[in-house]
Amino acid sequence: MRPAIYRTYLGAHFYVRARFVPDVHIPESHPRHRSLVTRERMAQLTEEGLVSVTGLIAHGRGEAFDYLLGERTVPEAETAERAAAALLSLARRPVITVNGNAAALAARELGELSRACGATLEVNLFHREDRRMEKVCDFLERETGEKVLGRRQDGLLEGISSDRARCTKEGLLAADVVLIPLEDGDRAEAMVKAGKDVISIDLNPLSRTSRAATVAVVDELTRAVPNMTAQARGLVQRPEEARDILDRFDNRRNLEAILERICKGLTGQASTDTR
């Protein structure tokens, strides 16, 4: 007999306890279908040890900000994605650092982006254990068909006291441009201090990561990466245009515009609700 760990809503089974139910069915007609399917997948990959439990909490924070942005790529994000692609296309040694959440959500897309701009993929985990590291590296290699760095970490990022300082000399330490999807602020700031150009992908425009980045992409990872790949494919052929895009990009102004958009959306919504 199946344990009573789910309930039924509109004919679909929903996840209610910290336990994954593999045969959960979410009808495609459900208005939150995409988000719910993603949650199920994240829950499954947590069971499998790829995503950490705190990674699930970070995912929830991302969902909340995405909700405020209308779950779409806003024009400011498009501008940042173009600037990010320009930076990657001009880089000498670009590196994409990948954690459990980023691998679970967008491994294949990150593989495409790495090929489009010649970037190296390096795994870096907040909750680092040898077995989990092996698991995430294997998963990423299987999904992307690329070799990834991270199993052997022979370098340390200065200014970080935890295990998160660990990285590779060949990858992160030698990089001039680093893409950090879903990163925490400490590492982002340390990379900027180390003289690297940093591109973040983080739905929170207030995070230290977004504030510290050279280019902060405030968009959902699975939407942002394919946009960046499409832009990078063109810009690697047009370095002059890439430089021009970067000259015109202002990270602080772009983040302010996003905050303004969120505030306007909220006050607009509030006035509609109270009418």
Q: Which residues bind ligand ATP (CB under 6 A)?
A: 58-59, 61-62, 65, 105, 182, 184-185, 201-204, 207-209, 220-221
Given the complex with ligand ATP, which of 105 and 242 has the nearer CB atom? 105
Given the complex with ligand ATP, which of 133 and 201 has the nearer CB atom? 201
Given the complex with ligand ATP, which of 26 and 58 has the nearer CB atom? 58
Given the complex with ligand ATP, which of 50 and 201 has the nearer CB atom? 201
Given the complex with ligand ATP, which of 189 and 197 has the nearer CB atom? 189
Least Å distance between CB 261 and ligand ATP? 16
Give dist(CA 45, CA 20) in Å, integer: 9
Least Å distance between CB 189 and ligand ATP? 9
Secondary structure of 60-122 in HEC code, one letter for each residue: HHHHHHHHHCCCCCCHHHHHHHHHHHHHHHHCCCEEEEECHHHHHHHHHHHHHHHHHHCCEEE
Given the complex with ligand ATP, which of 82 and 90 has the nearer CB atom? 82
* CA-CA-CA-CA torsion sign (81, 82, 84, 85): positive
Given the complex with ligand ATP, which of 155 and 185 has the nearer CB atom? 185
C-alpha distances out from residue 148 to 120, 139, 222, Å: 7, 10, 20
Least Å distance between CB 23 and ligand ATP? 25
In single-letter form, the type of residue at position 224 comes to A
**DSSP letter, residue 164:** G
Least Å distance between CB 241 and ligand ATP? 27
Least Å distance between CB 106 and ligand ATP? 8
Least Å distance between CB 257 and ligand ATP? 18
Give backbone dihedrals phi and psi of 136, rounded to 5 degrees, phi first: -70, -40
Least Å distance between CB 104 and ligand ATP? 10
Give dist(CA 219, CA 180) in Å, integer: 13
**DSSP letter, residue 200:** E
Nearest to 125 by CA among 186, 196, 52: 52
Least Å distance between CB 103 and ligand ATP? 12
Given the complex with ligand ATP, which of 109 and 220 has the nearer CB atom? 220
Residues 6+ apart with CB under 8 A from 92: 176
List the beta strands (DSSP E) in 106-231: 120-123, 148-149, 155-156, 166-167, 177-181, 197-201, 215-217
Decide if 76 contacts 218 (C-beta within 8 A).
Answer: yes
Q: What is the CA radius of gyration of the chain?
A: 19
Q: Closest residue (Cβ) to ligand ATP?
A: 62
